[in-house]
Amino acid sequence: MKNSKELIALLNLEDLGNHNFSGNSVTIGSPFVFGGQVLAQAVNAAYRTIPEDKILHSLHSYFLEAGDLTIPINFNVQEVRNGGSFSTRRVTASQNDKIIFILAASFHRKEDGFEHQVALEPGIKQPEELLSWDDMLEQFGDFLPKSMKYFLSIERPIEFKPVRIPNPLQPENLPPNEQVWFRLKGEKQEMTFRVKQEILTYISDYNVLNAAFNPNASKYNFGNTQTASLDHSMWFFRDFDFDDWMLFSAESPNAFGARGLSKGNIFTRDGQLIASFAQEGLLRPKKR
């Protein structure tokens, strides 16, 4: 995928009838289906059963099995509840009759109420000061480990600019946090709030476990550690546009027992909090 138009097409599932849908996969460099993809496709499936006056406000999910990139994923939506203000959906994703993922999602009719939010960290480096993944590949590709060079060479519909770039040739332990600016590639698309939420869900599974990895980065890396998303939750707050850079800001309060927890927020460049997220992931050192 090269741009947002191709990403939107990937996330827009085929309707098979009776609340059943089907979608295909595109690799992001892993031999298995990207968790953010199945997350966002499940949101697309759930939204297809929701009236127009309700929007997604929260989701909670579990990754049960690694997805096969070569065969379609089937999504089944169950209408758990249809209330006046809230509706709830349960989505199961399966391949070869085996469930690989489950999602619970809640949708809310827009209402007025009280408001507050945490602030964007002051003094954070702006995107213009930073290198993108594409810049890093171009400038340092000949010096990068083969696995990292391959990962950075995959075409993506999103441009990422990490605030802090670790040196893969001199790994060191880092604070338990990760901040990455991101924006969509390609021409601007007219999008409904629903489509924007699907895309943001897709993006939210990138970079999230780095915060849990960083405190032990001198010893462990993605080459000698088995990693996988175990669960993923999101809460959506405000409408937004993909016209400018946005900030993904994560912190990790704990890693223990081959699992690491990351949580954080997603802001617009002008400091509007649009979503929060949490994920626990597998961080299992490989035995030699």
Kindly state the tokens that stand for 233: 């939750």
Does 153 participate in catalysis according to the annotation?
no
Catalytic residue among 37, 205, 249, 252: 205
Beta strands in the chain (DSSP E): 14-17, 20-23, 54-63, 73-82, 86-95, 98-109, 158-162, 177-184, 225-229, 231-236, 246-256, 259-268, 273-285
Buried/exposed code over 55-76 (b: 16+ C-beta within 10 A; e: otherwise): bbbbbebebeeebbbeeebbbb
279 is an active site residue: yes
Spatial distance between the Cα atoms of 272 and 58, rounded to a whole number of angstroms: 18
Structure tokens at 139: 């400038």
- 272 belongs to the catalytic site: no
From the list 25, 229, 262, 276, the catalytic residue is 229
Instruction: Report the C-alpha gap between 90 and 81 in whole angstroms.
Output: 10
Active-site choice (179, 249, 252, 279):
279
Catalytic residues: 205, 229, 279
